Structure 1
């Protein structure tokens, strides 16, 4: 069996990141474990199970969003709370025990309950329309918040005093308090009259055990005890793949050395230079998987000694979809700007403006994964100021609203040539919106030190050229793109691909060839090699 321990946490807390349906998603849910689970779920190459350590009362909805609804999993909090239900249930907030005289007011986003013209409660809903929490109020101040499980019961309840959280109770299906976590100290108190948890044995039997203590220093100690009991009778063939994360560090310490273990590093989620004490742990791992060659090089450098049991397996697979950029009247240039140094950003915008004077069919798609609602307006205003200072017409970025007094001005002002907007902002948070955006792009220009991994995979999937600052496994200089550090050469590089259909088609062919190295089949082959190495 292959066990995955994911890093699906909310702000480094033992809880899921589920949110109300109307709240803008500020981050993507996709990571290395999501892709790993998807690959093994769809291929059936090896039996696997997710070991979920976080409190996730809406986990079924998360699995559905990732396309792996029936993926097998074990939930630590289900074991703690002794939950027996497996399937999501349909339930209505109307069926809750409301006081006599309650009145419900339906807003476009939430339902608010009033009692004697005073706000009594607020019901928030998830993306599937299920109630996920009910917040209770006393004199307009939050006093309690009930968190609902999608299987139809209250999973936990938070108690407040004058709006300040006092503690969180985790409950059984019957509503009995199992344990209490105090907000100020983080200490955990086990209910002495309900002090057992479930252990699922390898022969599918369920064993009930008693907690070793009645008071724990932290919730982490409780989770580690229950996890340890669950995996104690694993067979010698079992392999554990742990997503490196601050909360998973202690779990990894308990597993590595006793079990066959893989550590998975993904982007900036866990940087060794910020956790130097974890170096001995990494050295003891059976194998290390990273998301890219760049992460592998970084890890080897930070470990300060040679490590050989390491390989990169992309968390994204290439799927050939040539997009629709050839069918569009305009040539869209995708320009990622997140994390771009200010001076380089300024130089790039000026260079792009120069190129737009050479190619009247080109437009610039400023790309960001930052979900801040007013960011597009801020970016466009910033670009307009940069170009105006450089002597360009700011109207190629934004059209200012005309003053009512303009009709009294000279006829010359009225006859000014209209200048089309050439700069647009593509604000994409999740992977689906990114892929949709890429399908319309003719070329990508990424001048950051580390090009975006997912963007590069999408570029080879859509077979479009890339211009980046350094060569990567997804871009070979002179074939499906260029390596370029001189900002002033951007117009020349863009013209090479956009000014010649032959050059663009050549890059398309090379992109296709490179993409064959990152198909699901090839990624699974790399996984087979890693697991075979561990088993030896």
Structure 2
């Protein structure tokens, strides 16, 4: 069995709390990470796996559904605490609650307000698909209680507030409405109280903090539910260091490094967790090199470090060869403003010479540079190079493609299109009709590279990676000034572009789910062995428990 310990957090006050925020307060951002892709691959190849959820996640099923992993098996510590075994999503109708007779409900674009005798007595909040999240109960305009609902259709917990509207304590309920544990937010220690009715299900009647109770349940799961031939894949992040170092493991531990979730610096804490792990999986060449160097210094050079992309490719070749426009997708992240000006100047001159070329400039929603800042860079570059009569970049047209603008005004200037990337699907949709991808960062975006391979789109980078090979499925340029020549290489005729397409097709099979799972089996010593429980594993567990 493969167990996965993910890093799925929301922007809540407490790290252990992963309950969703109302739809209008959620910052739209990338939810996708390595664990999601790994679970998809294991599920697709029917490898037995299970996810361990340490956080309080009353909206977990909605998250899993959004990420197309709803059917995965999971163990939730808070489900254990609250004695809940149900896994199916169900709607909850707030009108069925015991409201005072004569309560009126006002539906606003954001929430529902409940009024009794003209006074607002409740604010009713929903998620992005209209499911009930929580109800804030008010007295004299101040919140007194917050009812938090589970996406399986029941009241999950209640937060009580003091007269200053500060959280006092929170009770976690079972399906009958009885509280199981209570967290006190204003007292010192102990912070967590266990209901005496259920004391047999816990080792202590009270806990110093909720983290201690979470650790107890996590350790109990490892001791009683796992076998010696199982594998635990932990999404590496600094907040998990203590958990990783304190827990007792009799199974293989793999650390999975993804993006910038764990800053790869040669620190004592990183060296400690690397020593604790049996193997490491990295996502990029950069991370792989850094981790290997740190391990070599630690004197553990024989530790297994494998670079396995967290994104599997699926055959969905693009359609750019079937459309007249030559669309370029440029991810600007990782460049300084002077470098952006150098790149943009070359692209604008190419666009002036060939009217078929269209440019989309893209950045992730979390990117530090604002759209307005890049608009200033673009307009200054346009003006400085005497191209004002040909191009424009302004906020009114940021979301309109060039073809859409030309339908509005055939004589209008060619617009540079801006694309903010919120979720992975934004990239997949964008590259479906793109002729060329440009990413000149010193650490090219991994998902964009895999999406480009899947769509058969050649890519121009400035550093070598395992995913783009020079003159095969892309070009590696030495200097930014060489971009024009590289773009011409793929846009002048289809010969070079077709060669890149055919080579990408061979890459697709290399990064398929089945091949990536083979790599996982190699680093865990499971070649040719299905990862279900075996008789040998059962024997090992029994011998360990004595």
TM range (shorter): 0.7 to 0.9
Q: Does the aligned pair in 2 maintain the 1:192–1:214 contact within 8 Å? A: no
Q: Hey, what's the Cα distance between the residues in 2 that align with 1:506 and 1:186?
A: 67
For residue 181 of structure 1, give the secondary structure of its aligned residue in structure 2.
Answer: strand
Q: Hey, what's the Cα distance between the residues in 2 that align with 1:373 and 1:448?
A: 15
Q: Does 1:226 align with 2:229?
A: no
Measure how far apart 1:431 and its partner are: 1.3
Alignment of 1:472-511 (within 5 A): 472-511=465-504
Counterpart in 1 of 2:399?
none
Q: Which runs of 5 or more residues in structure 1 are unaligned?
A: 197-207, 402-416
Q: Hey, what's the Cα distance between the residues in 1 that align with 2:97 and 2:8?
A: 30
Q: Does 1:253 align with 2:245?
A: yes
Q: Does the aligned pair in 2 maintain the 1:388–1:394 contact within 8 Å? A: no
Number of residue equivalences:
508
- Write out per-residue CA displacement over residues 368-424 of structure 1, whole angstroms, 9 at most, x where no aligned residue: 2216999545533442133224433176123699xxxxxxxxxxxxxxx94522310
Identify if the C-alpha distance between structure 1 residues 372 and 26 changes in structure 2 by more than 3 Å, giving closer, same or farther: farther
For residue 232 of structure 1, give the secondary structure of its aligned residue in structure 2.
Answer: helix
Counterpart in 2 of 1:341?
336
Identify if the C-alpha distance between structure 1 residues 318 and 85 changes in structure 2 by more than 3 Å, giving closer, same or farther: closer
For residue 470 of structure 1, give the secondary structure of its aligned residue in structure 2.
Answer: coil
Q: Does the aligned pair in 2 maintain the 1:371–1:427 contact within 8 Å? A: no
Q: Does the aligned pair in 1 maintain the 2:458–2:473 contact within 8 Å? A: yes
Q: Does the aligned pair in 1 maintain the 2:341–2:377 contact within 8 Å? A: no
Q: Does the aligned pair in 1 maintain the 2:334–2:443 contact within 8 Å? A: no
CA RMSD of superposed structures (Å): 2.7
What TM-score, normalized to structure 1?
0.87
1:461 to 454, 462, 467: 454
Counterpart in 1 of 2:34?
32
Identify if the C-alpha distance between structure 1 residues 475 and 63 changes in structure 2 by more than 3 Å, giving closer, same or farther: same
Counterpart in 2 of 1:434?
427
Q: Does 1:521 align with 2:514?
A: yes
Q: Hey, what's the Cα distance between the residues in 1 that align with 2:188 and 2:283?
A: 34
Counterpart in 1 of 2:83?
82
What TM-score, normalized to structure 2?
0.86
Q: Hey, what's the Cα distance between the residues in 1 that align with 2:478 and 2:140?
A: 61
For residue 248 of structure 1, give the secondary structure of its aligned residue in structure 2.
Answer: helix
Alignment of 1:211-360 (within 5 A): 211-216=203-208, 218-233=209-224, 234-255=226-247, 258-273=250-265, 276-303=268-295, 304-305=297-298, 306=301, 308-360=303-355
- Write out per-residue CA displacement over residues 4-61 of structure 1, whole angstroms, 9 at most, x where no aligned residue: 111112247112263434556522221111111111212113x221111111112122
Q: Hey, what's the Cα distance between the residues in 2 that align with 1:333 and 1:441?
A: 6
Measure how far apart 1:163 and its partner are: 3.6
Q: Hey, what's the Cα distance between the residues in 1 that align with 2:415 and 2:254?
A: 48
Q: Hey, what's the Cα distance between the residues in 1 that align with 2:379 and 2:390?
A: 8
Counterpart in 1 of 2:147?
146
Counterpart in 1 of 2:121?
120
Identify if the C-alpha distance between structure 1 residues 481 and 86 changes in structure 2 by more than 3 Å, giving closer, same or farther: closer
- Write out per-residue CA displacement over residues 310-365 of structure 1, whole angstroms, 9 at most, x where no aligned residue: 10111111112221212222111111123432221222222222222222111110
Q: Hey, what's the Cα distance between the residues in 2 that align with 1:17 and 1:453?
A: 29
Q: Hey, what's the Cα distance between the residues in 1 that align with 2:325 and 2:20?
A: 39
